């Protein structure tokens, strides 16, 4: 029977960390459509208006049952096909958009996992309550993070959105589902490397043995470009000699649209020190031609996805061992062993993984006094809050320096600026 209700959800209070029950602001309705499928839909904050909206929905359902509004026979036939056939077609759609193989595989796998768990045989069976139960199972039973839960929801919503766009469904049954707040359950936040940490990382990489199929100096150049351009692993893995323009007034490096995360050609300005070190490295690298991949770390360009975070973890651990071994003083050695310097994961649970080098790039822009808008542009973010709140890190020393830069506190009323006299005001 159709009804309107206030939804009750259990959420985590960001201030206390306690689980609390929260009532939705809007009224929701529950009803069955003309095909007998249970639907839920948000209405209005006003109960009387919500009842009127529900009646309109029920009238439309009745008209459909009476044949006044009908699904075409082709739509019904299409909707009753095995759902796996639609998933396969959705995969072809993703390939046509030239999404990366990894993205296509992961999206299809997530959709298939949800379908298998919910035991859907055709797309008419897709419903919000089933997806909610799966995501709850994912978090509570399997211990997955809210971020992972949101990734699954994003994948299945992408699938149902395509079903509607391709006229396979008349409505998107998951259109109203919302992501959960990831700030209450962060599992893999990153940190930026300090200047001395990065210097030691480069040194140990340059002088160290091969790792993950890359010799030391190649790893060092990979880290340097990541931390001074903000490019991601797949973007760095697409670079060739042609990607660099040394003849421009300001040298640049360009990532082609097919390798960029947001599918746009990205041009980044190069720091003079990076230009100098890169040219020196290139004379030793000696590529066969201008189209050879210089840093083969991405499957899309070289056929192999190299575990760059494991590579970085290895070099950080080596650098930390050398740093601790530099001192013979027992107290200093104990202090270094207990410090977070060069740790891959610090005591706060923050990771200095390969993507953390992008955090290092954006954080260094902030240290250099770059304006937030310029930093957003150089980071290639569509949302400035992402640049400021996620990728820009402020350490304790920066906070102390900021407080110390404030004006001195007046010691007495005589320290305050004196008001201008009437004579001076009149003369002005």
Number of separate domains in the chain: 3
**Rounded Cα gap, residues 139 and 184, in angstroms:** 13
Is 56 in the same domain as 93?
A: no
Give the per-residue pLDDT at 424: 44
- Which pLDDT does position 426 carry in this prediction? 47
Q: State the residue range of the domain holding 127.
A: 78-187
The Cα-based distances of 205 to 83, 236, 314 in angstroms read 49, 17, 9
Residue for token pair 């080098």: 357
Task: Give mean pLDDT, residues 289-316.
Answer: 91
Based on the fold, state whether residues 177 and 146 are members of the same structural domain: yes
Residues 258 and 283 in one domain: yes
- Give the CATH number of the domain where residue 139 resides: 1.10.150.130
CA distance 160 to 169: 8
CA distances to 16, 66, 71, 239 from 245, rounded to whole Å, are 53, 68, 57, 12
- Rounded average pLDDT over 251-260: 90
Q: Last residue of some domain: 187, 222, 240? A: 187
* Confidence band, pLDDT 50/70/90 cuts, at residue 310: very high
224 pLDDT higher than 80: yes
Which of 152, 187, 222 is the last residue before a domain boundary?
A: 187
Quick one: which of 79, 80, 27 has its CA closest to 57? Answer: 27
Provide the pLDDT for residue 412: 60
Closest-CA residue to 304 (of 313, 312, 295): 295
Q: Tokens 């006229």 correspond to what residue?
A: 167
pLDDT at 41: 82
| C-alpha span between 330 and 333 (Å, rounded) | 5
Average pLDDT, the chain: 85
Helical axes 146-165 vs 101-118, angle rounded to 10°: 90
Q: What are phi and psi of 314, to 5 degrees?
A: -60, -45
Residues 213 and 121 in one domain: no
Q: Are residues 278 and 387 in the same domain?
A: yes
Q: Which pairs from 276-281 meet CB under 8 Å and 24+ separation?
A: 277/221, 277/224, 278/221, 278/224, 278/225, 278/244, 279/246, 281/217, 281/221
CATH of the domain at 389: 1.10.443.10
pLDDT, one tens digit per residue, over 361-407 is 999 988 888 888 888 888 888 888 778 777 777 766 766 666 676 66
For residue 353, CA distances in Å to 7, 184, 188, 208, 340 come to: 40, 22, 10, 18, 14
User: Are 180 and 256 part of one and the same domain?
Assistant: no
pLDDT band at 92 (very low <50, low <70, confident <90, very high): very high
Q: Are residues 301 and 388 in the same domain?
A: yes
Q: What is the pLDDT of residues 119-168, one digit of tens each?
A: 999 998 999 999 999 999 999 999 888 889 999 999 999 999 999 898 88
pLDDT of residue 209: 92
Residues 182 and 200 occupy one common structural domain? no
Q: Please tell me the distance from the alpha carbon of residue 78 to that of residue 64, in angstroms, as a whole number.
A: 18
pLDDT for res 283? 93
3-state secondary structure of 292: coil
Q: How far apart are CA 252 and CA 275, in angstroms?
A: 9
Rg (CA), the chain: 29
């Amino acid at each position: 029977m159709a009804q309107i209700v206030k939804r009750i959800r259990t959420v985590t209070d960001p201030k206390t960390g306690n689980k609390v029950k929260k009532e939705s602001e809007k009224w929701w309705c529950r009803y069955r459509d003309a095909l007998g499928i249970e639907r839920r839909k948000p209405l209005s904050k006003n109960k009387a208006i919500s009842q009127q909206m529900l009646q309109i929905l029920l009238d439309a359902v009745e008209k459909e049952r009476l044949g006044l509004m009908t699904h075409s026979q082709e739509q019904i036939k299409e909707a009753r096909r095995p759902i796996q056939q639609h998933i396969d077609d959705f995969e072809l759609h993703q390939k046509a958009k030239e999404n990366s193989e990894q993205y296509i595989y992961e999206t299809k796998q997530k959709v298939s996992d949800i379908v298998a768990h919910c035991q859907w045989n055709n797309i008419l069976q897709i419903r919000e309550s089933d997806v909610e139960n799966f995501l709850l199972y994912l978090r509570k039973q399997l211990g997955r993070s809210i971020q992972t839960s949101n990734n699954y929801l994003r994948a299945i919503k992408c699938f149902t959105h395509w079903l509607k766009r391709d006229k396979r469904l008349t409505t998107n049954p998951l259109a109203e589902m919302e992501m959960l707040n990831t700030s209450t359950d962060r599992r893999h936040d990153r940190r930026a490397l300090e200047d001395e940490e990065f210097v030691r990382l480069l040194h140990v990489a340059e002088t160290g043995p091969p790792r993950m199929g890359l010799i030391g100096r190649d790893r060092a150049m990979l880290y340097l470009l990541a931390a001074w351009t903000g490019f991601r692993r797949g973007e760095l893995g697409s670079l060739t000699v042609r990607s660099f323009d040394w003849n421009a007034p300001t040298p640049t490096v360009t990532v082609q649209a097919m390798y960029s995360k947001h599918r746009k050609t990205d041009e980044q300005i190069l720091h003079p020190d990076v230009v100098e070190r890169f040219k020196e490295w290139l004379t030793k690298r000696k590529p066969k031609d201008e189209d050879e991949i210089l840093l083969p770390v991405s499957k899309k360009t070289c056929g192999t996805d190299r575990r760059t975070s494991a590579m970085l973890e290895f070099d950080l651990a080596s650098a930390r061992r050398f740093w601790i071994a530099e001192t013979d003083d027992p107290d200093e050695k104990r202090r270094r062993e207990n410090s977070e310097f060069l740790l891959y994961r610090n005591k706060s649970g923050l990771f200095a993984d390969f993507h953390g080098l992008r955090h290092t790039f954006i954080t260094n822009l902030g240290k250099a006094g770059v304006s937030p808008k310029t930093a957003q542009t150089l980071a290639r973010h569509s949302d400035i809050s992402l640049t400021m709140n996620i990728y820009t890190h402020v350490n304790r020393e920066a906070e102390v320096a900021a407080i110390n830069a404030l004006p001195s506190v007046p010691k007495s009323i005589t320290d305050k600026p004196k008001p201008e006299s009437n004579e001076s005001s009149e003369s002005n």
